[in-house]
Structure 1
Amino acid sequence: MSHLSDAAGAMAAVVRTITADQLAEPTPCAKYDVRALLNHLLFWGPSLAGAGRKEVVAPLAAAESDVDLTTGDWRADLLELLDRMASAWAPRSAWEGVTGFGEPREMPAAVIGDMITGELAVHGWDLAVATGQLLDLPAPLVAHLWESMAAPAAQGREMGLFGPEVTVPADAPTLDRVLGLTGRDPAWTPVHAM
């Protein structure tokens, strides 16, 4: 169950070095620049941590756009949320039974845990490439991402969670294939967004 913790740790390493002048940079996730992606993570973080404890926790604000990075210490807040997510999902019991994250509908906890792991890893990559960093994901985590995301990718696209699949070679690195499943071009750079 350490994959979620590894994904949170990898994202935290990226978040620690994002500078204020990078907040307006585009990301590979077309609907978010760096600021909006950080808002998204801060908005959903409490609910995702709550899901690991089988608790319904209200999001940080009424809407993602209401999260204001100009007040408070957004970096410390996000790092603390990542730590809370990892801690909430650390016990084996977090992955058992059912849970939810702000909706009345519940799902198997293991499915939600894997969704959160993918969210942290893929958005961690988004932030890393948008800010000129490398995301350090352990090989077992990357293999787990492929195993947990390949089958439900079409459903993720239908739900609007993923963009259209980007074709990557079958022999491409596993992370590149995961990124392609989620609608990201593994070769993306900020130049592509101009």
Structure 2
Amino acid sequence: MIADRYTARADAFEAKVARVRDDQWDNPSPCAKWTARGVVDHVIDMHGVMLGVAIPRTGSVLDDFREARRQVYAALTSDRASSEVSTPVGPMTLEEHIDQVVSDDLVLHGWDLARATGQDETIPPADVQRLWATATSVPPELMERFRTPGAFGPGIEVYGAEVPVPADASLQDRLLGYVGRDPVSKKS
């Protein structure tokens, strides 16, 4: 189940990466410090963090992502998946950690990449519901830590400050606002 969810999300993210035109890599993203390329670089880096390795870079963003996902999928389908790992929120299995961090990142950063490059920003409804349930179940004291830049290491910010959205906003927009994205304002 976790490997299947990861695969579906990685497929969707890879398709977005493949559609980025050469002239769009420096476009600003909804993540204030990153360009479109920075979003993908972060996703690749986090794949490596989950595995305790540095993902080699070839110069092709698409090839680099494909290598990152290959390595994570190999871990998810091996005996290593059930091994216990230490995480900032306590011990869990490697596959649970990948599911809660990298797999969820593919959804949110897929939206970031789509917004930065003018692609379809629709998140699958099942992913919206799952991420909404996850995000809103975080205890307030932990959510404060999630919103504090650097709380989990240099340059790491799990969620940004909540962005208010209209009361009648879709669940996708409410999720994005809750995790610190502005789903209403379009970048010019």
- State the TM-score, normalized to the length of structure 2: 0.76
Deviations 1:25-50 (A, max 9, x none): 000011101122222223232233x2
Deviations 1:85-133 (A, max 9, x none): 3453357973x563257x9x96323255212222111111100110010
Q: Which runs of 5+ in 2 are unaligned?
A: 152-156
8 A Cα contact 1:130 1:189, kept in partner: no
Give the superposition deviation at 1:59. 2.3
- Measured against aligned partners, the alpha-carbon deviations of 1:13-69 in whole angstroms (never above 9, x if no partner) come to 101111221111000011101122222223232233x2xxxxxx22237xxxxx6xx
Identity %: 30
Question: Could you tell me which residue of structure 1 aligns to residue 48 of structure 2?
Answer: 46
Q: What root-mean-square deviation, in Å, do the aligned CA atoms of Structure 1 and Structure 2 show? A: 2.9
Deviates more, 1:83-92 or 1:147-156: 83-92
- Aligned AA (1:89): L
Q: Is 1:156 matched up with 2:146?
A: yes
Give 2:164's aligned amino acid.
T
The 3-state SS of whatever aligns with 1:190 is coil
Aligned residue for 2:170? 173
Deviation at 1:140, TM superposition (A): 1.8
Match of 2:53 in 1: 58
Q: Which runs of 4+ in 1 moved over 6 A?
A: none
- Answer whether contact 2:26 2:36 (CA < 8 A) is retained: yes
Query: Is the 1:23–1:33 Cα contact (8 Å) retained in structure 2?
Result: yes
| SS in structure 2 at match of 1:60 | coil
Query: Residue 29 of structure 2 aligns to a residue in which SS?
Result: coil
Aligned residues: 173
Q: TM-score, normalised by structure 1?
A: 0.74
User: 1: CA distance between counterparts of 2:75 and 2:97?
Assistant: 15
Partner SS state of residue 137, structure 2: coil
- Alpha-carbon shift at residue 171 of structure 1 (Å): 4.2
Question: Helix, strand or coil for the counterpart of 2:10?
Answer: helix
Equivalent in the alignment of 2:131: 145
Partner of 1:22: 24
